[in-house]
Structure 1
């Protein structure tokens, strides 16, 4: 079979498919899967380029989000049968309840474990869920990380309601899902972007308003003005160091800032007075549990939410797909189909 492996140089342009033996029969509690589609996340870029704590050993198979068909089940597996179409979860040990150090271990496609960019995988059955029947392989593959992160942020902030105002940074996967979830809940969604064209496209999709953060570095003032001086109930911050302070300033008293990304850097200096004087909450959002994902899937199907896919690459074009993600021109998810 073929799989993608992180090169010793950590140069994503050197990613190429390599031939490896098939994984063999699944052990107790495991399933053998033939992969059909994968969606990419910013985390995958950090893994393949050896960035900071996401640096894996050379030879690691990257990727965390995928959909495939069950070929065989091991002893004791009752949740799935051959022929089922399943989705992976990035943290297969986080089944339910609060996140703990033990549940945080074994993340797919990073320093701890191989990921999903392979033609066949053997994975623990408990870390998988049935893929929604109403979605294609590519569409379903976008849900385990980006959609779940947006869902976790919105539900944790109690913003899944029609009187909420949500601020979304950028136009990537998490941001598009936050827009879709917010709109399906009849919330008002404001977006930020460096591109007026992207803002116009987000408005076409239903965004209430948009702010270009390149036109005004103090863009929070515009958000506050749009909300008649109140601010937003929830700011979903993608940029990290580059945007966190403005996200904080844009949030209403008693609101929440969900920190879900770090495309603008890992280290930020923040004004603590802005937080305690307005009774704000900073929520660090780590994807979510399998139980959260299952609840989200039920809600998505009820609302008939169709994921936004920007572009689909072939398995042999995995390096090109990651370069396209890195360029940041996409609106929605970047995917790979087998």
Structure 2
């Protein structure tokens, strides 16, 4: 037994399933003793995902623990390692945990999906947490804890999409919908790969920001409801090679109209609304690929970090706002407003 380790942790939890941000509360809890094959981590920063709101509202078809601790994405430092935890991690190492603890490499499975933090198992919005060594990934040296905590879900989702069966390549055209975390990371990875990027938003102010980040063309979809026509004009009628589809039903029909023949629509989220029509016939006519994305593996995480290190400035995470731990509920409210560009972070330490 290691002497001097913390025995309690401050954490947030959902007081009930299917509630609102008002049902997010905090407490001081006994810290479960670290097992001999685990690594104890002091969590410095946590980033929020749109899915965190959906989980709290009971809109995810998951079997969740009672009084679920939310959030999947963290960055922290190792403060202890069990005797049977191997030699890879030592005190002071800076680490992130993968979104699904047991997704080491290759395709996911139903059992792997059940190891996702902040859903099927308790999440990371807590001061201290133990992890199995295989679920941890070293943080690139040039990133702060606040920047690194954006990597496990948003960055890795974008990376998994754009490096899938047909990876994005120099000269491709990539369509990015919106300005949330996945979209901004996708913009950066596409640019780092030499692709041309078209980006959409309902806000001219947000479009100015993503133009500064490197987007080649921007479209205000609120002023241009048939925005797919603009995309086709920008590609001389060919359509785009890849689409990061975060809108879901509200935007999928438009995406199907501006994907090139044989292109890839990476289905990532459903922050939009509406019910698409003629989706089946449109996808058959385009012979395109609709690819559902479920984050990525530890192996992909390590590959992505090499890209981040190779292109440190173009891929640096974009953080909209950092909230102190005591204002976590306000961070969730801000997330719900969708006023942000990039990521929302809660600083614990």
Smaller-chain TM-score bracket: over 0.9
Q: Are residues 1:81 and 2:93 paired? A: no
- Aligned residue in 1 for 2:196: 188
Q: Does 1:5 align with 2:30?
A: no
Distance 1:138 1:292 in 2: 21
Do structure 1's residue 337 and structure 2's residue 347 form an aligned pair?
A: yes
Measured at CA, do residues 30 and 266 of structure 1 come closer, stay the same or move farther in structure 2, by a change above 3 Å? Answer: farther
CA contact (8 A) 2:177 2:246 kept: yes
Query: 1:50 Cα deviation (Å)?
Result: 2.0
- Report the CA distance shift for 1:266/1:30 in structure 2 as closer, same or farther (over 3 A): farther
What is the aligned length? 336
Contact 2:250 2:275 in 1 (8 A): no
1:230 equivalenced with 2:225 (yes/no): no
**2:107 matched to which residue of 1?**
98
Structure 2 unmatched ranges of 5 or more: 1-8
Question: Aligned-pair distance for 1:122?
Answer: 1.2
Q: Distance in 2 between matches of 1:15 and 1:280?
A: 41
- 1:102 Cα deviation from its structure 2 partner: 2.1
* Stretches (4+) displaced over 6 A: none
Give me the TM-score of the superposition, normalised by structure 2. 0.92
1:108 aligns with 2:117: yes
User: 1:315 corresponds to which residue?
Assistant: 325
Aligned to 1:34: 42
Q: 1:270 to 1:153 in 2, by over 3 A?
A: farther
Residues 1:174 and 2:200 aligned together: no
Deviation at 1:2, TM superposition (A): 0.6
* SS of residue paired to 1:261: coil
SS at match of 2:166: coil
Structure 1 position 266, deviation (Å): 9.2
Does residue 252 of structure 1 match 2:265?
Answer: no
Partner SS for 1:94 = coil
> In 1, are the aligned partners of 2:16 and 2:23 still within 8 Å (CA)?
no
Structure 1, unpaired ranges of 5+: none
Aligned residues of 2:39 and 2:131 also touching (Cα < 8 A): yes
CA RMSD of aligned residues (A): 1.6
Given that residues 168 and 242 in structure 2 are in contact (C-alpha distance below 8 angstroms), is that contact kept between their aligned partners in structure 1? no
Indicate the residue corresponding to 1:285 in structure 2.
Answer: 293
Please state if 1:117 is matched with 2:125: yes
The whole-number CA distance in structure 1 between the counterparts of 2:165 and 2:206 is 26
Does the CA-based 8 Å contact 2:140-2:308 persist in structure 1?
no
Distance in structure 2 (CA, Å) of the matches to 1:227 and 1:109: 40
Q: CA deviation at 1:274?
A: 2.0
Match of 2:28 among 19, 41, 44: 19
Instruction: Tell me by how many angstroms 1:267 deviates.
Output: 6.4
